[in-house]
Amino acid sequence: MNNLYRNISQFRNIPILNLLLVNLRYMIGLGFLPSGMIKVLDKPFTRVENVGVFYDFLDALYTTGIYYNMIGLMQVIAAILLITQRFATLGSFLFLPIIFNITVLTISTIGSLTPLIALLMLLGIIFLLLWDYQKWFNIFNPDNAIKNLPSHNSYLTYNAVQLWTGVILISLPSLLIFAGYLKTGVASVGIILIVGNLASEKVQPVLRPFFSKLLRGTATETHTQKL
């Protein structure tokens, strides 16, 4: 167990992986938020013209009423927890059975890219859970054999800017979409992600080497031209 934790800690100390992880939480959460809200608002998830086993299943699921709404509510809760960063581990655990069920369903009933997308999201959730291994590994130990892992990692998974980026991602696009500004709400997601990442201090160690090389290359080229 300790060896696994040491290996994970080595990856957690890589700035670009931390940055990618935070954005992976954003993207998976945002991917499930609209589909969850559709169910919570008791709207059908498919169009009438769609036919096939997969769509027949979703149509039958829609007729279950409260059960259909409850699935959507769990998706929304898991998405919000994941996007907040602070409670992302709990969100990942809630998402695991949901996305596993969706992956098996799509593989069994539909072709195209849908099963591949579901499988990639499932692998993403597994990756997020492995990343937070130190938070949950004790659940497999007996009550009288709780272990403490050595602290190998001092690099935070998120910072205050990324926390607030998550809060804004949940609230602002939702308000715009409910107000009828669908395109503006969707566009705001990309803008918030870009601004949030650029404003985060964790981006600096990731981008600094790139800009340093770029500036050195520009300076060398200018010096050569002068000669």
The model's pLDDT over 93-135, given as tens digits with 9 standing for 90+, comes to 999 999 999 999 999 988 778 889 999 999 999 999 988 887 8
Over residues 2-18, the mean pLDDT reads 72
Q: What is the pLDDT of residues 192-205, one digit of tens each?
A: 888 887 777 655 55
Please give the Cα distance from 62 to 73 (Å, whole number): 14
Q: Which helix (H) or strand (E) holds 52?
A: none
Cβ(159)–Cβ(59) under 8 Å? no
pLDDT at position 151 is 56
Residue 162 has pLDDT above 80, yes or no: yes
**Is the predicted pLDDT of residue 3 greater than 70, yes or no?**
no
**How far is the CA of 161 from the CAs of 53, 55, 93, 133, 147, in angstroms?**
44, 41, 24, 24, 33
Please name the residue that has the structure tokens 């799509």: 106
Selected residue with higher pLDDT from 30 and 16: 30
State the pTM of this model.
0.78
pLDDT at 219 over 50: no
pLDDT surpasses 70 at 87: yes
Instruction: Report the share of the chain in percent with pLDDT over 70.
Output: 78
Mean pLDDT, the chain, whole residue set: 80
Name the residue ranges covered by the structural domains of the chain: 1-136, 159-227
Judge contact between 149 and 138, C-beta under 8 A.
no
